[in-house]
Amino acid sequence: GAVVSQHPSRVICKSGTSVKIECRSLDFQATTMFWYRQFPKQSLMLMATSNEGSKATYEQGVEKDKFLINHASLTLSTLTVTSAHPEDSSFYICSARGLAGSDTQYFGPGTRLTVL
Amino acid sequence: RKEVEQDPGPFNVPEGATVAFNCTYSNSASQSFFWYRQDCRKEPKLLMSVYSSGNEDGRFTAQLNRASQYISLLIRDSKLSDSATYLCVVTHVYTGGFKTIFGAGTRLFVKA
């Protein structure tokens, strides 16, 4: 299947700093990328949908000024958690959809963010 | 009511057992259905798509019942390596795009 990479895989930062997470589709062009967050023992929660070259669409309750998403190319989307706080500690996972006619999403390996 | 509902389990079964999971969805306009598998602290991985005609892949069989709005996953001859959380996933199209909804997952433990 298609390959999606995510970097970094793990990050620990101090409260108040910003963290950038990259999501890349390695062997296909992803017209749409999704960012999810998953707290322990809970389901994946969609944060936002990003289409290449346009503004991301955020889910209700997700602050767009805190979670900045950039989808500058067909193979790269970034999520920046600005002024991170301990409650932002979570597992952030991106997925990509791009194969024509397919609803299948391919997930990156995730980034575990810990804010101290 | 959640858009996609699953029994969280856990299901504890011995090796070799057959186990079945069900998932219900509320949006009758849903178009695509999938089962994903997620191991602890890992990302979800696509297990199989689900069709009305049924879909079988080795020991795994998935079925869709549109009339009753549920999908099922059957695992035969369970292996220790099948221990994971199984996510039911439903997509539907709406004005402006399409949306993917994940169930909360069903946890399976296969024991020797």
Digit-coded pLDDT (tens) for B32-55: 899 999 998 888 999 998 988 889
Cβ distance A92 to A71 under 8 Å? no
pLDDT score recorded for residue A98: 67
Q: Name the closest residue on chain A to residue B88, using Cα atoms.
A: A43
B62 has a chain A CB within 8 A of its CB: no
pLDDT of residue B96: 64
- Specify whether the CB–CB gap between A78 and A23 falls below 8 A: yes
Q: ω before B14 within 30° of 0 (cis)?
A: no
Mutating which of A44, A54, A95, A112 best tests the B interface, going by the most B Cβ atoms within 10 A? A44
- pLDDT 10s digits, A42-66: 888 899 998 887 889 999 999 999 9
Residue type, B28: S
